[in-house]
Amino acid sequence: MAKNKETKKNNNMNYYIFAVFVAFIAGSYFMNFDLGKRIGSNFMIFARDMGLLLPPAFILIGLFDVWVSRESIENNFGNTSGFKKYIYAILLAATTVGGTFVAFPVANTLYHKGANYSSIFTYVTAASLVMIPMSIMEASILGVKFTAIRIGVSLPLVIVSSIILGNFFNKIDYKIPKAD
């Protein structure tokens, strides 16, 4: 019961903070405060982008959850899948659009379908490193050589650190808590 009161108190605080933010933005437009107007404009661009990106992404995540069987995930991302789980995690991450906004729900689905911790860590980390659109833009700005070196150095480190962290989580028999 105390946990529910604490959660409700935190939710109320979040609404209060958001209301203060909206009041600041509205006041900035009313008083012609340039910095506040720019913050409001940037927030609206971000909100629009998230409004366009997240609904289709969550629909695809839901379809992924329904259409991809647990056996398929266990065979390709599970404990017995060998090194190929890292290759599949990196390939899945490269095609994930939306960064960590989408990567964490996909990682949650992978976990609940039997994926190994190290493959999940590889996926989440690689989702921030090797997204195809980001890599193309980076290569066009900084050069293909730079992008290739960055990816070539980063991915082995991601895999090694994921293995270490995955082994640690398995050693302590960690389980992700279920939502209330």
What string of DSSP letters covers 11-39? HHHHHHHHHHHHHHHHHHHHHT-HHHHHH
90 and 60 in one domain?
no
For residue 9, what pLDDT is reported?
Answer: 73
Domain assignment present for residue 3? The answer is no
**Residue 1 covered by a domain:** no
What's the pLDDT at 107? 93
58 with 109, same domain? no
47 and 95 together in one domain = no
Is residue 152 in some structural domain? yes
Note whether 55 and 110 are same-domain residues: no
pLDDT at residue 176 in the model: 82
31 assigned to some structural domain: yes
* SS3 (DSSP) at 173: coil
Summarised one tens digit per residue, pLDDT across range 158-178 is 999 999 999 999 999 998 877
Alpha-carbon gap, residue 42 to 64, rounded angstroms = 32
> How large is the average pLDDT for residues 70-75?
94
Q: Are 48 and 85 in a shared domain?
A: no
pLDDT confidence bin for 69, thresholds 50/70/90 = very high
The answer to whether residues 139 and 86 touch, using CB atoms and an 8 Å cutoff, is: no
Where is the domain boundary, 67, 83, 109?
67
pLDDT in tens, 4-39: 667 677 778 889 999 999 999 999 999 999 999 999
Domain membership flag for residue 138: yes
Domain, as residue range, for 103: 70-179
- The residue among 10 and 63 whose pLDDT is bigger is 63
**pTM of the predicted model as reported, rounded to 2 decimal places:** 0.79
> How far apart, in whole angstroms, are the C-alpha atoms of residue 124 and residue 131?
11
Interatomic CA distance for residues 29 and 40, integer angstroms: 9
Whether 18 is covered by a domain: the verdict is yes
Question: Of 46, 67, 88, at which residue does a domain stop?
Answer: 67
Q: 42 and 79, same structural domain? A: no
* 75 and 146 inside one domain: yes
CA 128 to CA 10: how far, in whole Å? 29
Q: Examine the domain organization and report whether 120 and 173 are in the same domain.
A: yes
Structural domain includes residue 132: yes
> How confident is the prediction for the chain on average, in pLDDT?
90
Segment 125-139 mean pLDDT: 91
Does 99 share its domain with 173?
Answer: yes
pLDDT at 133: 86
Same domain, 161 and 91: yes
- Using one digit for the tens of pLDDT, what is the confidence trace for 74-118? 999 998 999 999 999 999 999 988 778 889 999 999 999 999 999
What local confidence, expressed as pLDDT, does residue 78 receive? 92
pLDDT at residue 4 in the model? 66
